A and B are shown apart, each in its own frame.
Chain A
């Protein structure tokens, strides 16, 4: 019973952390039809930001600064690496994204010297708590609630504000959106800002649980979140969240079983199965090509 509860708790919290990353993939895909391979590395860099910022500033200043820098990084990547390719074939933008991903990983190697950096202990989040006889960190309990709040706020933004309306319009039709007077570049920047912000929050939760950062720390969580986004139907925010909780939960279950070593194999096998059986994912829209 206690064992099941601990599996459940870690699955839910892992799922919430993947959800925050997966939303970044799904939002960008929804607008640019681009799989932003650099997103996982933005998540890793967000972790490093806090490692370094917390040595110079107290945590109450370092945390908001980390979010600000992460948002600025996402914004800058889009402006420098994707915007100049706006009218290029989609494949070129994707290759550019892979380039950015390697650039970030190598920069991180250069700056950290390739040594693991330990993530600062966050007050409250890093503290231990015991519920139902299971000992865990507060972050495990906080994550699902924080994710819920952020996702509801995001849904509110997308469905009930002018910016959100513009985001939905641009996702459907660049040219007609321009005819409405919408500056599509601002809307695209906005999606990168939101995605990076959520990745920043996600990194805070994730690295509190796994407090050692190496330059490749973003790669696997990024890929798992990507699988989650595809599983839920890429382009759909609720899909990404549901997908992430399913991926997080199954990872936790497998890691708690004798087949622990196969947990990533299972995740990626799931990707293949979903692509074969239901390529649009759980909540995916029908593919209507832009005319």
Chain B
């Protein structure tokens, strides 16, 4: 579904991504794992159109989407749940969800019902300012907001960051559920254990290069991965 060829990205004066190739097959959960500064976020931000690549091609279902503006990328069906959630704190929960569907002109009722069924908590709090939600609820809102654009591919940047272990478990089970309903997922995580247990396909990223790939289970058994990321 998404195919990346020889992607190089300069970011803040350094080459953060040094020529990577990978693929996200339709309907799967794919994860990129790697340490801080390995270039994971930069890759997602480049796909989302926030950062322009130095070289390389990004294709979505054979269509070249390299260096399109972020709003064009969203309209193609790719959405990014940013690191640190970044809900709009002064907007209500409902407004946050509506703004996720900013480019859509059709009725949102059906999708609102869907998001509320995934996250009943959001329905209870729909009139509350998003800034008053707990960290876990904000993460749910960020995911719900991304789903409101009706994405084919949802990218998630560190969804477990700063959340309690129990909440992390919840979030990952919901990621599975969303995936079961037909949304392809590209996930980056420092919590490699959780990510590999969830993912169909995984890539290991080290200082801007992909050094290892395989199914989630394969990488869970891999000695090098165990040593470096699973402790």
A: residues with CB less than 8 A from B are 162, 165-166, 168-169, 172-173, 175-176, 178-183, 291
Contacts and interface: CB of A to CB of B under 8 A. Distances in A.
B84 interface: yes
Contact of B88 (A162, A169, A181, A291): A169
Contacts of B145: 180
A179 B89 CA distance: 16
B35 to A, nearest CB: 22
Contacts, number: 55
Interface string B186-230: 000000000000000000000000000000000000000000000
A182 B84 contact: no
Given A162-B102, A169-B91, A181-B103, A176 B86 contact: yes
* Secondary structure call for the B interface: loop
Contact of B48 (A166, A169, A179, A182): A179
B32 to A, nearest CB: 18
Contacts of B70: 178-179, 181
B91 A291 contact: no
* Secondary structure call for the A interface: helix
Interface stretch (B75-83, B160-168, B174-182): B75-83
Interface in B56-93: 69-71, 74-75, 79-80, 82, 84, 86, 88-91
A181 B50 contact: no
A162 B105 CA distance: 11
Given A181-B70, A183-B71, A169 B80 contact: no
Given A162-B102, A165-B91, A176 B82 contact: yes
B99 interface: yes
A10 B88 CA distance: 41
Interface of B: 48-50, 69-71, 74-75, 79-80, 82, 84, 86, 88-91, 95, 98-100, 102-103, 145, 149
A62 to B, nearest CB: 38
A165 B100 CA distance: 11
17 contacts: A165-B95, A165-B98, A169-B88, A173-B86, A175-B50, A176-B82, A176-B86, A176-B88, A178-B50, A178-B70, A179-B80, A180-B74, A180-B100, A181-B74, A181-B103, A182-B71, A182-B99
A258 B79 CA distance: 65
Contacts of A181: 70-71, 74-75, 102-103, 149
Contacts of A162: 98, 102
A182 B100 CA distance: 10
A176 B83 CA distance: 10
B182 to A, nearest CB: 21
> Which 7 A-B residue pairs are closest in the complex by CB-CB distance?
A181-B74, A181-B103, A178-B70, A176-B86, A181-B71, A180-B102, A181-B102
B90 A168 contact: yes
